């Protein structure tokens, strides 16, 4: 039976919250927020490079020809699988405008590639409704279950483009996990890591881009 490596949702649903504190999949990510001429968010472009261990498991699952690589049709299957699997996780994308969540539409397609033993995914997301860069807009790419770790190696990997950003101030925030834990020692229970009332550990420690316009 073919192993379902891409986002084992069934397994995740059975794991207790504390187990999520140890990532099993690692992504080196880059994204670019593109502003439209009218000052709204046009799209959010993503490039994800997965770790070699996870990438090799994807190769084993999708290399139907058995030639130890992924051809065009196999890469297309990977992209389609990820596009469908990540929908319920909002593609790890969390955007807020003045504290209100900005819903993102499903990407038209996810382009997959396999280079230097790494799976690389490229895709764009667009807001479901027109959202202007006004006030405080926060962009975060992270997995709320903590099963997947998304890392931005440099601040420049969280980029912006478009004339509208010329009137905005931006900063990349990299919270210190040890400080977050120290500040919340009194509430360190399993619910702290994924609290339905709003205390979400993954959100607290995630690297994010904050834009003030």
The tens digit of pLDDT for each residue in 37-88 reads: 999 999 999 999 999 999 999 999 999 999 989 999 999 999 999 999 999 9
Q: 91 pLDDT exceeds 70?
A: yes
Examine residue 179 and state whether it is found in any structural domain, yes or no. Answer: yes
Q: ∠ at Cα 154 (131, 18), nearest 5°?
A: 80
- Collapsing DSSP to helix, strand or coil, 72 comes out as helix
Confidence at residue 39, expressed as pLDDT on a 0 to 100 scale: 96
The tens digit of pLDDT for each residue in 33-51 reads: 999 999 999 999 999 999 9
Domain carrying residue 149: 19-212
Examine residue 166 and state whether it is found in any structural domain, yes or no. Answer: yes
Examine residue 1 and state whether it is found in any structural domain, yes or no. Answer: no
Q: What is the rounded average pLDDT of the residues 95-116?
A: 96
Confidence at residue 204, expressed as pLDDT on a 0 to 100 scale: 75
In a 13 Å sphere around the CA of 115, the CA atoms on its Cβ side amount to 6
CA dihedral 103, 47, 141, 99 (to 10 degrees): -40
Q: Answer for the pair 126, 54: CB distance below 8 angstroms, yes or no.
A: no
63: closest CA among 76, 79, 74?
74
Confidence at residue 18, expressed as pLDDT on a 0 to 100 scale: 41
Sheet strand arrangement including 208-212: 100-101, 93-97, 136-141, 208-212, 169-173
Examine residue 146 and state whether it is found in any structural domain, yes or no. Answer: yes
The tens digit of pLDDT for each residue in 146-157 reads: 889 999 999 999
Examine residue 9 and state whether it is found in any structural domain, yes or no. Answer: no
Examine residue 91 and state whether it is found in any structural domain, yes or no. Answer: yes
Domains held by the chain: number: 1
Helices (H), 45-97: 52-62, 72-85
> In angstroms, how far is CA 153 from the centroid of its own chain?
14
Q: 23 pLDDT exceeds 90?
A: no
155: closest CA among 174, 133, 180?
174
Examine residue 64 and state whether it is found in any structural domain, yes or no. Answer: yes
Examine residue 52 and state whether it is found in any structural domain, yes or no. Answer: yes
């Amino acid at each position: 039976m073919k192993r379902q490596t891409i986002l084992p949702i069934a397994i995740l649903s059975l794991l207790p919250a504390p187990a999520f504190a140890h990532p099993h999949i690692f992504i080196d990510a880059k994204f670019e927020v593109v502003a439209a001429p009218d000052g709204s968010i046009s799209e959010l472009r993503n490039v994800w490079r997965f770790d070699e261990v996870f990438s090799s498991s994807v190769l084993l699952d999708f290399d139907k020809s058995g030639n130890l690589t992924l051809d065009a049709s196999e890469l297309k299957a990977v992209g389609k699988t990820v596009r469908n699997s990540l929908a319920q996780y909002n593609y790890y994308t969390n955007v807020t405008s003045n504290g209100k969540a900005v819903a993102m539409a499903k990407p038209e397609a996810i382009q997959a590639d396999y280079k230097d033993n790494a799976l690389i995914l490229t895709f764009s997301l667009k807001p479901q409704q027109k959202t202007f860069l006004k006030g405080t807009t926060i962009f975060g790419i992270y997995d709320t279950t903590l099963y997947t770790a998304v890392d931005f190696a440099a601040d420049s990997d969280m980029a912006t483009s478009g004339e509208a950003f010329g009137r905005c101030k931006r900063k990349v925030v990299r919270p210190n996990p040890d400080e977050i834990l120290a500040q919340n020692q009194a509430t360190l229970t399993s619910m702290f890591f994924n609290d339905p009332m709003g205390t979400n550990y993954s959100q607290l420690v995630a690297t994010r881009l904050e834009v003030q316009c």
